[in-house]
Homo-oligomer: A and B are copies of this chain.
Amino acid sequence: MPNISARAAQAPASPIRRLVPLADEAKRRGKKVYHLNIGQPDIPTPEPFLRGIRGAPVEVIAYSPSPGMREAVEAMRAYYAEWGIDLSPDELIITQGGSEAVLFALNVVCDPGDEVLVPEPFYPNYNGFARLAEVEIVPITTHRREGFHLPPREEIERLITPRTRAILFSNPGNPTGVVYTEAEMEMLVEIALEHDLFLVADEVYREFVYQGRHVSVLSFPEIRDRAILVDSISKRLSACGARIGVFASRNPQVMDGARRCAMARLSPPTLEQYGLIAFMADPRHREIVAEMVDEYRRRRAVLCRELGKIPGIVFREPEGAFYVMLGLPVEDAEGFVKFMLTDFPGEETVMLAPGQGFYRTPGLGRDEARIAYVLNVDDLVRACSLLREGLELYQEVEERVRG
């Protein structure tokens, strides 16, 4: 049997992937599993978006232009203009979800072996993109006790080497819920200018801000040439499976590079672009997203209240996105998550994402887990009560094993 490539063979399976079969098994045994482990929103996709797809005036589902349909690009331009960001039609392309936009960004700014700084904990799929692009991720460690805000400038600067090409960050943050302050963004801008780096901001959660104000990477004229925006409608239109994302930059070379990447894969999905066009043409589109964000704001309040009742759990209220990183009163969060799926008694249980998968630095995050508040308020209350029971039971079992 011929060997597959080293890069494909060595790709790490994320911890969550090891746990998914256990959740499936629990469900086969008839257990209800509250999934707090994935960022898959439960809120219905807005009607105008669905209508745009269902009523798309096409006889042939043809390729769209590689950079997206002209009208889809216009729809996204109109969106950013509403947020005070003016982009020309050449300054953005439609991608197959935010995922592809991240992959394009790494390909455009890095050659194989180059390095990218990424604040950790970070979205684990960045590891997959980095592997595909043969790019090294160098973590900037941030801490729960500081609400995962950035460390001082010198701490970031001492990670920079001649191979560093960019700082990639999600803002608002997944899994941290951090929203970088204007001062933090200014610090990143200064570092980028001084060390000749690109700033790649994943702003997929840009409207999900509950405290503070979101500052886009595209709002700094001094880094017009080095700012890259990665975006997606997946979360704010509750349409993760539509695979509509955005890659934007005011640097024409960067956009040329991105367009070349886009040509290689021919076309983003066509019908979903009609969904986007129809959604943006709806006069209520801003309201619809605002209502969705309000729902997450309510969930966040309930979740934080309920988590606050659980002894030993440590966390700070997330400022944005729809995640919260918890410190758990256990040594091995993955062991606890496993326990909840395999040994926790009763008809219901809860699934979290173990913290380690979000860190690059070995050993970090072992006692942490991420919660995505993508369930309705009643389910969140129930899930928190299961979490509390589970922790009590698990601690008892652990003590018995030790004793």
Contact = CB atoms under 8 A, between A and B. Distances in A.
Interface string A251-264: 10110111011011
A243 B53 CA distance: 15
A241 B5 contact: no
A11 B260 contact: yes
A99 to B, nearest CB: 5
A267 interface: yes
Interface string A191-211: 000001110000000000000
A241 B270 contact: yes
A7 B107 contact: yes
Copies in the complex: 2
A294 interface: no
23 contacts: A1-B251, A2-B109, A2-B165, A2-B196, A5-B107, A5-B108, A5-B109, A5-B111, A7-B111, A8-B108, A44-B59, A44-B60, A45-B59, A45-B60, A45-B61, A50-B61, A61-B240, A62-B241, A97-B267, A107-B132, A240-B267, A241-B269, A243-B267
Interface stretch (A35-43, A139-147, A325-333, A335-343): A35-43
Interface string A215-241: 000000000011000000000001111
Interface of A: 1-9, 11, 13-14, 17, 40-45, 49-50, 53-54, 58-64, 96-97, 99-100, 103, 107-112, 114, 125, 128-129, 131-132, 134, 165, 196-198, 225-226, 238-243, 251, 253-254, 256-258, 260-261, 263-272
B4 A253 contact: yes
Nearest to A241: B270
A243 B62 contact: no
Contacts of A254: 4
Given A9-B257, A61-B239, 12 more contacts: A2-B225, A5-B107, A7-B112, A11-B260, A41-B60, A45-B58, A61-B241, A61-B242, A63-B241, A129-B264, A241-B270, A269-B269
A27 to B, nearest CB: 14
A5 B253 CA distance: 10
Contacts of A242: 61, 269-271
A9 B264 contact: no
A109 B2 CA distance: 9
Nearest to A226: B2
Given A132-B107, A198-B2, A40 B13 contact: no
Given A109-B5, A260-B128, A243 B226 contact: no
A131 B134 CA distance: 12
Contacts of A9: 253, 257
Given A11-B260, A272-B269, A2 B107 contact: no
Contacts of A60: 41-45, 238-239
Max chain B Cβ within 10 angstroms of own Cβ: one of A54, A58, A271: A271
A160 to B, nearest CB: 13
A126 to B, nearest CB: 9
Nearest to A128: B264
Contacts of A13: 260
B4 A257 contact: yes
Contact of A265 (B99, B108, B112): B99
Contacts of A99: 264-266
Contacts of A239: 60-61
User: What 7 pairs across the A-B complex have the smallest Cβ distances?
Assistant: A128-B264, A241-B270, A8-B257, A1-B225, A61-B239, A11-B260, A44-B59
